[in-house]
Amino acid sequence: MFEISTLIAFLAACIAIILAPGPAQALVLSRSISDGKKSGIMTALGLNVGTIFHALAAGLGLSTILATSALAFEVVKYVGAGYLIYLGLRELWSKQHPDALTQTVNLGAVQAFNKAVVTGILNPKVALFFLAFLPQFVDPARGSAMLQFVLLGLIMAALDILYETTLALVASALSARLTRSRRFALWRKRITGAVLIGLGLRLALLQRE
């Protein structure tokens, strides 16, 4: 379906984009440090469900709505920003005892996945990026354009999951050495809360280009 040269160019572009530090990596690192490797990995998976969603939306033309409608863009932007800030404040205000943190990793992993899916879907910047990025590699003459959008989204999601899973494993391994420290346990939650609030504010200040 794809020409080899096109696929190689797409893979190279994906790797360059994925390796560039950004909010997704910050969120994965924060979750890995705060809640362990399972939550970090599930956050990576959840964010990339959002990636696939936006690839599908780009194929259907839904992303065009965000690109052409200022109101739609602002609504999605502020809903997403509000959601991130809410999660951050909840982390900061949580009264959970530090000793209980390691007992809730499995539940936290499921919650981390769900929250990451919502976060990924409610990011209009990703929608606009896919609308501008993916069509460069889609050739209707070589088959279904929709299928090509989905396949490209799946390839990018797979590469991103691989990279962010590595980040999660490294971050959780480093933080595991300090999990017995009650002070560190409290700071983990504060760091996570601060990162989420920061990402929410960053999204709220985003301007449509």
Q: What is the pLDDT of residues 93-115, one digit of tens each?
A: 765 544 444 444 444 788 889 98
The predicted pLDDT at position 103 comes to: 44
Alpha helices in the chain (DSSP H): 4-19, 23-35, 37-60, 63-68, 70-93, 105-121, 124-133, 145-176, 182-204
Is 13 part of a structural domain of the chain?
no
The predicted pLDDT at position 98 comes to: 45
Tens of pLDDT, residue by residue over 153-179, are 999 999 999 999 999 998 888 776 655
Is 16 part of a structural domain of the chain?
no
Rg value, the chain, Cα: 18
What is the rounded CA–CA span in Å between residue 24 and residue 18?
9
Could you tell me the residue range of the domain that residue 182 belongs to?
Answer: 24-204
Is 128 part of a structural domain of the chain?
yes
The tally of CA atoms less than 13 A away on the side-chain side of residue 135 is 12
pTM of the model: 0.71
Q: Which of 85, 80, 116, 98 has its CA nearest to residue 189?
A: 98
Is 1 part of a structural domain of the chain?
no
